Amino acid sequence: MTAIMPAQLSTEEFEALEAVAPEPIRLEFVNGRLEVKPVPDGDHGEIVMWVLERCMAQRPELRLYPEQGLITEAFGQGRSRPDGALAPKGYFKGRGEWSDAGGVLMVVEVTSSQPENDRNAKPFGYASAGIPVYLLIDRRRGELVVHSNPSGGCYADTHRTQGLGERLHLPDPVGIVLETEELKELIA
């Protein structure tokens, strides 16, 4: 479990700063810390699209929304932009830049230049927000990690693939199966 750090700034100060950040800079507020979300490379984008296609093929009533701003962490103090937020079609319609995570079934992160943030700080924030499943595609380690059953700011269950090539069942309420063999060409 990640320790809660003293906040660098308030949530309101973060939202004001993020609103004026120049494109393509994307900011997050994770565990009381201002974070710059790295600009994804081409393989990162291909992996997100790979997950999106599988989600839509198996659960057409759901959508994997890329980079959707979510209110996370205990007491709504965090702001994250997961690589994908799986929710019912239309869930984010009419919502602002930072949306309540209450209807989100799963978040997806693909590691980039800051893998420790995705591995350690973000699971705390997503579990605290009550998001049922967190799928981490860890390119450096060549594995997929599924966190599920959020309780008290942590995920009670964690499953790691033993590498790529396995069939991975994402638990309910997601209920999607990923054939990870296809990821071998995208994850070195």
Residue 68 has pLDDT above 80, yes or no: yes
What pLDDT score was predicted for residue 167? 92
Q: pLDDT of 170-183, one tens digit each?
A: 999 999 999 999 89
108 neighbors 87 (Cβ within 8 angstroms): no
- The pLDDT of 24-45, averaged and rounded, is 79
Cα gap 185→188, rounded to integer Å? 7
Structural domains for the chain = 41-185 (3.90.1570.10)
Distances (CA, A) of 33 to 50, 122, 125: 30, 12, 12
Q: How many CB atoms lie within 10 A of CB 137?
A: 28
What pLDDT score was predicted for residue 129? 95
Q: pLDDT of 141-165, one tens digit each?
A: 999 999 999 998 899 999 998 888 9
Q: pLDDT of 9-29, one tens digit each?
A: 888 888 888 777 766 677 778
Q: pLDDT of 105-119, one tens digit each?
A: 999 999 987 788 889
Cα gap 95→51, rounded to integer Å? 24
pTM of the model: 0.86
SS3 64: strand
